[in-house]
Amino acid sequence: MTTATEQTLLGFDYGTRKIGVAVGQALTGTATPLTTLRLVKNKPDWEGIARLVEEWQPDALVVGLPFEMDDSPAEVHDQARRFARQLEGRFHLPVHLADERLTSREAWSRLGGRAMKDLGSIDAMAAKLILETWFSRR
């Protein structure tokens, strides 16, 4: 359950090359895509993430956990869990995991033609959907 102290949250759509980021408000249950960060030497862009944490001052973080449609873990499932643990260790904030099944497909659908022009926007939109899904299940 989201507590009164968890008002602003950052959501992350972890990928092997990019991480989409969104910000959301627990009170309204809505989120906004922020940006997509590229991995640096196969590692998360910790400086970029730190800037976002500093700017938005979130009360908690949400990381999308990828599953296949048959409920088996997706290929990057373990990497996303590791990323979540690293976020918690670096920023000392609560980190929640959310099923991110079909969020990228839904992001493509919502962005339509814009997705072809700006592939990075897909990941940020997926992060928005991850956050909003997490809110709705609370």
d(CA 66, CA 59) in angstroms, rounded, equals: 23
Evaluate the CA torsion angle 88, 91, 94, 97 in order and state its sign: negative
Do residues 37 and 70 lie in contact, with contact meaning Cβ atoms separated by under 8 Å?
Answer: no
The whole-model pTM stands at 0.84
Look up residue 79 and give its two tokens.
């990497």
CB-count burial class (<10 Å; 0-12, 13-18, 19+) for 64: buried
Of the candidates 35, 38, 40, 31, the residue with the CA atom closest to the CA atom of residue 60: 31
Q: Could you report the per-residue pLDDT of 65-77, keeping only the tens digit for each? A: 887 677 777 778 8
**φ/ψ (deg, to 5) at 88:** -60, -45
Q: Which of 18-22, 37-41, 104-108 has the lowest mean pLDDT?
A: 104-108
Answer yes or no: is pLDDT of 1 > 90. Answer: no
Do residues 98 and 2 lie in contact, with contact meaning Cβ atoms separated by under 8 Å?
Answer: no
The domains of the chain, with CATH numbers, are 8-136 (3.30.420.140)
